[in-house]
Amino acid sequence: MTSSNDKKSFKIAIVAGEKSGDELGAPLMHFLKANHPNIEFIGVGGSRMISEGLDSFFEMSEISVMGIIEPLFNLRRLLKLRKSLKEFLSRENPDIFIGIDSPDFNIPIAKFLKNKIDIPTVQYVSPSVWAWRKGRIKTMEKCIDHVITLFPFEKKAYIDSTIDVSYIGHPLAYSIEMTEEAVNTKTKNTIALLPGSRKSEILSMGDLMIKVAKQLKKINSELTFSLPLADANHLSHFNEEIEDYIHVTIGDSKEVLKNSEIALITSGTATLESALSYTPCVTLYKTNFLSYLIIKPLLMIKNFSLPNLILEEEFLPELLQSKVTDKNILDAVHEITDNGIGQYINKFDQIKSTLQAGGPAKAAEEVIKLIKK
């Protein structure tokens, strides 16, 4: 028998500002519809969220600007877009607001809607308050009812907060499948090069990774390299010549990581994909000098690589800012090979089991609870 609650239609405002947010938003929407078929989605998202039924107010790419300094160059346009989105959502009077990642864009929207129409608000993906700017939690308490976290270490930051927190694990822990046979039959002497999906990341890391690949090839002639890029246009951002033993592919980073023995990766979700693919990686991060100057005094963490953060130990090499040099990267690769790739399997097992904590199905349940309160 169907209850009156099940027949009620809900309007959910949901906003993602990045491709990764779109990838999180789509399965959340899928499970929300499974819980409650009568749901209308409004807000902003990419192709995956649109395919799940989102009526996107404008193109998500309009707000996909990352970093600390970079958004300042687009501030007027971003503020104008956010203002028009606030007004639209307020007129639509949704039952709940869900901001997916992009906290600098989404939290002010949550604050506006909380004050204007007093609806429940959710931040799906915690801001990096566990790493820096912990004082931001006090600001969030005024406008965010519930934070949904993807990683176990994030929940600790909210222990003394009035904000409710749900840890759901990461959807990649469910979507990346690696059998024991697949782990044991990885292509020998293969190294994946993942400089990042943004222009700024490729400009910072791309040529350095190619240089390192050439040096590694001189040491071991049997090595081959895969360079999976998010977009074919990203090739134009490389100045270093890409030799024929460096195989360029487009849009298949997950498959490349599954088949590689080792990876060099610009810090981000790809390091998690690597761990779940049972591929030891060297994590690299180098940002705009001014951005790093601002961030450095505020950092509260010893490690920045996601696999290391999840297990709370530095079991994989990571290099930050000035330490990102070709010599240090070569040393880090040799550290992995000297340890033996098999030595990392138990660690990767731990990461996978830790991150299988309910995923988007659990996130959808938490959202529905808030709506029905």
The CATH number linked to 141 is 3.40.50.2000
Could you say which DSSP state residue 358 is in? -
In a domain, residue 174? The reply is no
How deeply is 288 buried, as exposed, middle or buried, from its count of CB atoms within 10 A (0-12, 13-18, 19+)?
A: middle
In a domain, residue 185? The reply is yes
The pLDDT of residue 136 is 84
- Looking at the fold, whether 16 and 116 belong to one and the same domain comes out as yes
Are 69 and 92 in contact by the 8 Å Cβ rule? The answer is: no
In a domain, residue 65? The reply is yes
350-364 pLDDT, tens digit each: 999 999 999 999 999
Are 259 and 235 in contact by the 8 Å Cβ rule? The answer is: no
**Does residue 5 have a pLDDT over 50?**
no
Q: At 233, is the pLDDT very low, low, confident or very high (cuts 50, 70, 90)?
A: very high
- Looking at the fold, whether 33 and 146 belong to one and the same domain comes out as yes
- Looking at the fold, whether 300 and 363 belong to one and the same domain comes out as no
In a domain, residue 175? The reply is no
The pLDDT of residue 298 is 47
- Looking at the fold, whether 9 and 142 belong to one and the same domain comes out as yes
Arithmetic mean of pLDDT, 295-315: 78
Strands 190-194 and 224-229: parallel
Are 172 and 355 in contact by the 8 Å Cβ rule? The answer is: yes
- As a whole number, the mean pLDDT across the chain is 89
Task: Give the gyration radius of the chain's Cα atoms.
Answer: 21
The pLDDT of residue 199 is 84
- Looking at the fold, whether 195 and 215 belong to one and the same domain comes out as yes
Q: At 61, is the pLDDT very low, low, confident or very high (cuts 50, 70, 90)?
A: confident
Q: How far apart are CA 43 and CA 292, in angstroms?
A: 32
Q: Which domain holds residue 17?
A: 4-169+357-372
The pLDDT of residue 291 is 58
Q: What's the structural domain count of the chain?
A: 2
Q: At 265, is the pLDDT very low, low, confident or very high (cuts 50, 70, 90)?
A: very high
Q: Which neighbouring-strand residues pair with 166?
A: 148
The pLDDT of residue 67 is 44
68-98 pLDDT, tens digit each: 444 444 667 778 888 999 999 999 999 999 9
In a domain, residue 85? The reply is yes
